A and B are shown apart, each in its own frame.
Chain A
Amino acid sequence: MTDQTREGVQLAASQLSVHELVAGYPGRRVIDGLDLEIAAGRVTMIIGANACGKSTLLGALARLRAPISGRIELGGEDIARIPRTEYARQVGLLPQHPIAPEGLTVAELVSRGRHPHRGLFARWSARDTAIVDQAMERTGMTALAERPVGDLSGGQRQRAWIAMALAQDPSILLLDEPTTFLDLSHQLDLLELLRTLNREQGTTIVVVLHDLNLAARFADDLIVMAEGRVIAHGAPVDVLTAETIAEAFALESIVISDPLTHTPLVIPKPGGSHTSADAG
């Protein structure tokens, strides 16, 4: 990483802002008129009940689907006008179900993260190698570099994908439920890793997460969504209240302070769920 590019990344002041976003599928508006600013250089986590539009929002930020209307800006520029490769240099995505083809090794997977940085006819450079090595080192994958991704455990596999996203070297990294299928200690591991990246490299991290208490523990900013709207946005301690949880999840709970981290801890009341069995 040269000083120049690091400076360039910072100059881009990569703040994502969403204006009157309408998104969803033909005939169904999952998100209908959403405004949002995602602060640069922070860890933002998006929580909400199933089908509240949080993955749709993340997809719109990642340009998986063009908005029906409204616009998203990166550092003040409409992202629909930014060439795809250039956008990929700034905004990376770890989707919920990435696919590792049979036999693909960790090193080969991670090196594919360099794609947006390579010119069409540019050869693989020493700098590419250095960044790939660094990405594997940060995620603790160096010793597993030559192993096929398919042979790894769930936690290792997710780290391999994060290493690929790191090789992409984006200033904003979007992750869609990265802890699904991981046991608790690997969930903590992974979120710890993301926070370290944020603290050490200044990477803006945006995560859709299911677990409220882990989100509260690791997020700088929490976005609570319900029915395609943002119903609360701010520091976990301000946002995660019994009222918000009741509104977002139709769940009665009490919120106490985690004795270890002093972040909010949501404790559902017995029989406090008001969602019907088939909803969700």
Chain B
Amino acid sequence: MLVWIVVGIATVVVAVSAMVLGDYPLTPAQIGEVLLGGGTRPEQYVVLQVRLPRLLMALLAGAALGVAGALLQGMLRNPLASPDLLGISGGSTVAAVYALLVLGITGPALAAIAFGGGLVASLLLLAAARGQAAGLRLILAGIGVSFLSASIVGFLMTRVQLQQTQSALVWLTGTLSSTPWWQVIVLALTWVLALPVLAVLSRRLPVAVLGADTAVGLGVRPGVVRILVILVAVLLTAVTCAFIGPISFIALCAPAIARPLVAHGSLAIGPSALVGALLLCASDLVAQFAIPGVAVPAGIVTGALGAVFLLWLLATSKGRAL
């Protein structure tokens, strides 16, 4: 319990910092005033148009990735499973890079195409998810899709002009800068869609992971659970990926941090959401302010932190869980 209070407080601290810090420093009191409808024009612009949507995007997207990772890792009983590994982000990336570089598409249309790419990749996953050896086949299919998309992206990047690759690279690393409100709203609506399914899964997935026969004995159809898990994970990942790019490692790390905190072997779906939100928000903060004057995309920080975390996990006793 105590540990969750700490995580909760840390999230609030990070969120407040994200609102306060920046080229136009504000006090919490000023921010409160703006949120209540007051403040000067510049203050209103910075708070309402720049920092608040960016913060909300970081929280919603981090939570989405955390949940997608927790669901997939739980279902596949593999702590290395994540939307990146399963090729969901890969499908989105190929579609987005193609649209960006070859078709010259940006804005909402780009997001829609990235989402479509994620869906196509997930159709492959769903096809692989049938039958008894579903777990292993899913992971193998996912790895295949990941490699395929990496090579397609590499091919596309070598075929275009240098300056064009710049914008694609920023998207590819994953960034939260200049998040428009409509993206926040679409992601929030995605959450509204996902929540009822998550409510059902939070009851059935813990039963389904006890093995197909045990699940049937307890009145749960494992095949249905599997499809629901993939659908929700794809929905949350593909929408997130479409807006902020394939942010790496959050989906892998958030459940890996949350599960030991829960401690009794539960799937930690809710805790993973909280940890994911905290991780992405903190990473974005570090990305903006760690190097004075140089803001880097958040994906670089999550990748660097994630890699260190993974090594630490392997090196310590907690690594037993891997």
Contacts and interface: CB of A to CB of B under 8 A. Distances in A.
B203 A95 contact: no
Nearest to B216: A64
B213 A98 contact: yes
B211 A95 contact: yes
B93 to A, nearest CB: 31
A227 interface: no
A93 B214 contact: yes
B77 interface: yes
A84 B221 contact: yes
Interface in A100-146: 100-105, 107-109, 112-113, 115-116, 118, 120-121, 146
Interface string B203-225: 11011011111101111110000
B197 to A, nearest CB: 12
B7 to A, nearest CB: 19
B200 interface: yes
Contacts, number: 96
A205 interface: no
A168 interface: yes
Interface residues of A, number: 42
B216 A103 contact: no
Contacts of B216: 62-64, 84, 93
Given A104-B264, A107-B264, A108-B266, A95 B213 contact: yes
Residue from B77, B206, B207, B218 whose CB has the most chain A CB atoms within 10 Å: B218
Contact of A118 (B203, B211, B266): B203
Nearest to A83: B219
B211 A97 contact: yes
A65 to B, nearest CB: 9
A92 interface: yes
B265 A115 contact: no
Given A107-B264, A108-B264, A108-B266, A92 B217 contact: yes
A102 to B, nearest CB: 6
B218 A99 contact: no
Given A99-B211, A112-B207, A112-B210, A88 B265 contact: no
A77 B209 CA distance: 30
10 contacts: A84-B219, A88-B218, A93-B213, A94-B214, A99-B214, A103-B265, A103-B321, A109-B210, A115-B220, A120-B200
Interface of B: 74, 77, 79, 199-200, 203-204, 206-207, 209-214, 216-221, 259, 263-266, 321
